[in-house]
Amino acid sequence: MFQIIKNEWQFLVRSRIFLGISIAFIAIMLLSIFLGNYQTQKQEQTHQNAKNHVRQQWVSIDEMNPHSAAHYGTFIFKPTNLLSNLDEGVNSVTGNVLRVEGHVQNEIVHSEASQMQAVSRFGKLKPSLLLQYIVPLLLVFLAFNTVSNEKQSGRLKLLVLQGAKPLQIILSKTLAVWLYGVLLLIFILFVYGILNVQSLTTDILARTGLFFISYCLYYFIISGLTVFFSSRWQNATLALTSMLGIWIIWTIFLPNILMSSVEKWHKLPSRNEFQTAMKEDRSKGLDGHNPTDKRSLALKEKVLKEYGVDSVSQLPINFDGMRMQADEDYGNSVWDKHFGNNRSVLKKQKQSFQLGGIVNPFISLQNTSMGFMASDNLHHQEFLLQVENYRRVFIKMLNDKQIYGGSKTGDWGWKIDNAFFKSVPDFDYKPTEISAVISNYILDVVLLFLWTILVVALIVLGTKKLKMV
């Protein structure tokens, strides 16, 4: 087998066209990595500057009423992700900035796609674009005539006469082509690793390893299937046409058709429906700014009873803050209900879409690629959840200060000094570790393995039907 693989590589190395294409491809690849890295560094710097600026504004508040500070709020910037250099995933369309304030959970805004026409129209030139679309095409072009050429030239007979078994020949040719894809992959990961060597962590290495395995499996599927067609069909053109057809169906049509179907099966509420439903549920709760609200009055009665006093002016605490926090708590439960529902619909969509991998391994590859590079919707949702958790802690801290900080009910002019604002912690994003989310991608990896086994079975079967004469 080694001799056949070596011979295939001799052909590749000595072919000027192939070398030219490879060099051009590697140059584009390098460009995409360098540009991606440069952009990430720039974004990271902008992110840090914006984060520091906003934090500086917060810690510079000299004196302010805590509830006014809750309205003043702060901004959270989605941190750049080193891994998204390889696969941008949904990052360029999901937004980067989120305003955190009292009473309301804002949406994340300012996506790159909304600000850059080139990104919204063509996407970004990321290695994943080349690895998912162009490398498989190169593999198809390398493999489509590997066996048919041997058959047509009569060399296949010579090879078999020299003792090579047909299965050995076909498997070796598959491996030779596959190896080309794997080497490109290794090259990209190596350059990426060198450029970011100081930032590599165990989690990043584990994610990159899984990313590598997914692509290796997919490249084997593409190489094996093409070599199988090359051995089955009488001429190379038919093998090439078959594989190009499969490539178009797998990468262009099926993902779109499946995603649209999944979105219909598990429908997310429209933005308008969602906001109306939230508003409606919220209106059934307590209004923090309305002391005459029925639920506010009930809460007041409860608190007065608890403290054994007749009026809020007799309370040792600030009841306004308590009402605000009750408003928050109710708002949080409304958010949990509606966003929880959205998350569950998104989860169902993801699970259904994953099953598309049964008929299309490209779907499994895309899922694992984005997932392992922490740039899919699941990771984005994890970020939003962390932001919401921070918002709750942030607002509660301000409300608690309002309640227990020494002011009395109705004392809206009461202010707290700078030391308190400095003590409010900044948002500290904890990247989701792969061990916490790996279970979401097991199905994709399993399907890629099953496809690999299927391709091996096809090769074995195809070998048995291989006609020498």
Chain positions contacting other proteins, by CB under 8 A = 3-4, 7, 10-11, 14-15, 153-155, 157-164, 468-469
Rounded to a whole number of angstroms, the minimum distance from the CB of residue 161 to other proteins is 5
Rounded to a whole number of angstroms, the minimum distance from the CB of residue 25 to other proteins is 21
Rounded to a whole number of angstroms, the minimum distance from the CB of residue 228 to other proteins is 21
Q: Specify the residue, 134 or 159, whose C-beta has the smaller distance to other proteins.
A: 159
Rounded to a whole number of angstroms, the minimum distance from the CB of residue 15 to other proteins is 7
Distance from the first to the final alpha carbon of the chain: 23
Tell me whether residue 73 is exposed, middle or buried, using C-beta atoms within 10 angstroms of its C-beta: 0 to 12, 13 to 18, 19 or more. Answer: buried
Q: Specify the residue, 346 or 466, whose C-beta has the smaller distance to other proteins.
A: 466
Gap between the Cα atoms of 277 and 335, Å rounded: 10
Gap between the Cα atoms of 263 and 341, Å rounded: 15
Number of Cβ within 10 Å of residue 43's Cβ equals 18
CA dihedral 158, 164, 165, 166 (to 10 degrees): -50
Q: Specify the residue, 4 or 370, whose C-beta has the smaller distance to other proteins.
A: 4
CA dihedral 116, 118, 121, 124 (to 10 degrees): -100
CA dihedral 202, 208, 210, 212 (to 10 degrees): -150
Rounded to a whole number of angstroms, the minimum distance from the CB of residue 177 to other proteins is 16
- Residue 379 sits at the vertex; the CA angle it makes with 207 and 112, to the nearest 5 degrees, is 105
Contact indicator for 140, 229 with CB cutoff of 8 Å: no
Rounded to a whole number of angstroms, the minimum distance from the CB of residue 160 to other proteins is 7
Q: Specify the residue, 179 or 365, whose C-beta has the smaller distance to other proteins.
A: 179
Gap between the Cα atoms of 394 and 101, Å rounded: 9
Rounded to a whole number of angstroms, the minimum distance from the CB of residue 230 to other proteins is 17
Q: Specify the residue, 11 or 133, whose C-beta has the smaller distance to other proteins.
A: 11
Q: Specify the residue, 154 or 316, whose C-beta has the smaller distance to other proteins.
A: 154
Q: Specify the residue, 162 or 283, whose C-beta has the smaller distance to other proteins.
A: 162
Q: Specify the residue, 143 or 384, whose C-beta has the smaller distance to other proteins.
A: 143
Taking each helix axis from N to C end, the angle separating 146-153 and 236-248, rounded to the nearest 10 degrees, works out to 170
Gap between the Cα atoms of 229 and 162, Å rounded: 24
With H, G, I as helix, E, B as strand and everything else as coil, classify residue 222: helix
Q: Specify the residue, 173 or 300, whose C-beta has the smaller distance to other proteins.
A: 173
CA 143: distance to chain centroid?
32
Taking each helix axis from N to C end, the angle separating 135-143 and 16-59, rounded to the nearest 10 degrees, works out to 170
- CA-nearest of 76, 186, 174, 251 to 460 is 174
Rounded to a whole number of angstroms, the minimum distance from the CB of residue 136 to other proteins is 25
Rounded to a whole number of angstroms, the minimum distance from the CB of residue 146 to other proteins is 12
